[in-house]
Amino acid sequence: MKLLIADDDPTSLAMLKAAILKTGDEPVLATNGTDAYRILSESEAPELAIIDWMMPGMNGIDVLHKVREKPTEKPPYIIMVTARDSKTDIVVGLDAGANDYLSKPFDLGELRARIEVGRRMTSLQNDLLKSKAQLAHKAAHDPLTNLMNRAAVLDCLILELSRLRRLDGILAVGMLDLDDFKSVNDTHGHHIGDEVLRICAKVLTQNKREYDSIGRIGGEEFLIVAPMSTGSNPKSLFERIRRTIAATPIAAVPGGLKITASIGATCARQDATAGEVIREADAALYQAKRQGKNQVVFSSQCAQHEKNLNTPNTQDT
């Protein structure tokens, strides 16, 4: 662990550095408050710091105030070290944002013990943040496919619609449905059906661009939200996904199982609501199913972007 030591006294700085090296930590040195604050403001700042009260530039109290003013999920654990050891001074230091207080001249054993307390606290803080991130991921993702769930991908659609109203461009939205999926479950069992969904999710993830949003919105249906620049052809993304799914066998079934998908897509109007966009894509999906499945059909809303969006597809055999 990196540990900041900020002290303008060379003897004290050397003693603290030697003590930190014995704990196996990596000391980061500063001889004034200005440098200490700069180091604690870096993206990879030390999680634990020992700061002297009296320093040139900015004193330790000023450093504490400025560090605590900045909102962060990972505030550093700061031990204030000073010869000022009256109860009033200790209260001032703790009120300024110090987590602990150590008087000079300090005992090395006490210093190591207080550093260990700081290490435990930062470890607990990191575990808490990790758990928070995991819970947030679970709340927004489908457990089977690890794609975004319905609520999360609809939030992305609403966000992209808001962006579309402010900026020029195209927002292509596709509704993908696996063809004859019920027969897969009926013939091969739900465990194979789950594998089909996972493989479809993998294909979607591998073919999406970094700014696309994809989620499972229920059963064998997936929603694709794809913002594009003006002049782009929305068909290419959806066709690539369709072809890749059709060309990916399900190895869990002896001899392989061929799966296809139908996609209904639309290009959102700037004044459209999420519900209207979903209904347009769903209507195009229904048309793709009626026309023989395993194809991409665009709504009439996309005609302004590409005249030949709904030219017949060459279906994969």
Q: Are residues 12 and 131 in the same domain?
A: yes
Domain limit, last residue, from 117, 139, 161: 139
pLDDT of residue 99: 96
Arithmetic mean of pLDDT, 131-135: 95
Tokens at 301, concatenated: 């809303």
Instruction: With respect to residue 281, please indicate whether it lies within any of the assigned structural domains.
Output: yes
Report the CATH number that the domain containing residue 33 is assigned in CATH. 3.40.50.2300
Q: Are residues 167 and 266 in the same domain?
A: yes
Q: Are residues 116 and 158 in the same domain?
A: no
Q: Are residues 31 and 119 in the same domain?
A: yes
Q: How confident is the model at residue 308 (pLDDT cuts 50, 70, 90)?
A: very low
Over the stretch 237-255, which tens digit does the pLDDT of each residue have? 999 999 999 999 898 888 7
Q: In terms of Cα–Cα distance, which of 174, 180, 202, 145 is closest to 258?
A: 180
Arithmetic mean of pLDDT, 93-122: 91
Instruction: With respect to residue 38, please indicate whether it lies within any of the assigned structural domains.
Output: yes
Domain limit, last residue, from 120, 139, 158: 139
Instruction: With respect to residue 135, please indicate whether it lies within any of the assigned structural domains.
Output: yes
Over the stretch 286-300, which tens digit does the pLDDT of each residue have? 999 999 999 999 998
Distance CA 118, CA 229 (A): 50
User: Does pLDDT of 315 surpass 70?
Assistant: no
Q: In terms of Cα–Cα distance, which of 128, 181, 183, 127 is closest to 294?
A: 181
Note down the domain range covering 39.
2-139
Q: Are strands 26-30 and 2-6 parallel, antiparallel or unpaired?
A: parallel
Q: Are residues 181 and 230 in the same domain?
A: yes
Q: Are residues 157 and 119 in the same domain?
A: no
pLDDT of residue 316: 46
Taking CA atoms, 269 is separated from 50, 171, 284, in Å, by: 57, 8, 16
Distance CA 23, CA 145 (A): 44
Taking CA atoms, 241 is separated from 261, 268, 296, in Å, by: 9, 20, 10
User: Does pLDDT of 221 surpass 70?
Assistant: yes
Instruction: With respect to residue 311, please indicate whether it lies within any of the assigned structural domains.
Output: no
- Is 220 annotated in the active site? yes
Q: Which of 47, 160, 195, 220 is catalytic?
A: 220
Q: How many structural domains compose the chain?
A: 2
Over the stretch 14-70, which tens digit does the pLDDT of each residue have? 999 998 898 888 999 999 999 999 999 998 999 999 999 999 889 999 999 999 999
Backbone angles phi, psi at 206, to 5 degrees: -70, -25
Instruction: With respect to residue 316, please indicate whether it lies within any of the assigned structural domains.
Output: no
Find all residues with CB under 8 Å of 52, minimum gap 6, and list them: 6, 7, 8, 9, 12, 60, 80, 81, 82
Q: Are residues 89 and 217 in the same domain?
A: no
Q: Are residues 154 and 298 in the same domain?
A: yes
User: Does pLDDT of 309 surpass 80?
Assistant: no
Q: Are residues 190 and 123 in the same domain?
A: no
216: β partners: 222
CA angle (21, 25, 26) in 5-degree steps: 85
| Burial tier of 186 (Cβ tally within 10 Å: 0-12, 13-18, 19+) | exposed
pLDDT of residue 105: 85
Instruction: With respect to residue 104, please indicate whether it lies within any of the assigned structural domains.
Output: yes
Over the stretch 80-94, which tens digit does the pLDDT of each residue have? 998 887 889 889 999
Report the CATH number that the domain containing residue 224 is assigned in CATH. 3.30.70.270
Tokens at 91, concatenated: 């209260």
Arithmetic mean of pLDDT, 305-317: 50
Q: Are residues 211 and 157 in the same domain?
A: yes
Q: Are residues 183 and 294 in the same domain?
A: yes
User: Does pLDDT of 303 surpass 90?
Assistant: no
Q: Are residues 105 and 173 in the same domain?
A: no
pLDDT of residue 262: 98
Q: How confident is the model at residue 305 (pLDDT cuts 50, 70, 90)?
A: low
Domain limit, last residue, from 87, 108, 139: 139
Instruction: With respect to residue 313, please indicate whether it lies within any of the assigned structural domains.
Output: no
Instruction: With respect to residue 58, please indicate whether it lies within any of the assigned structural domains.
Output: yes
Q: How confident is the model at residue 265 (pLDDT cuts 50, 70, 90)?
A: very high
User: Does pLDDT of 314 surpass 50?
Assistant: no
Distance CA 296, CA 312 (A): 9
pLDDT of residue 140: 96
Over the stretch 147-205, which tens digit does the pLDDT of each residue have? 999 999 999 999 999 999 998 889 999 999 999 999 999 999 999 999 999 999 999 99
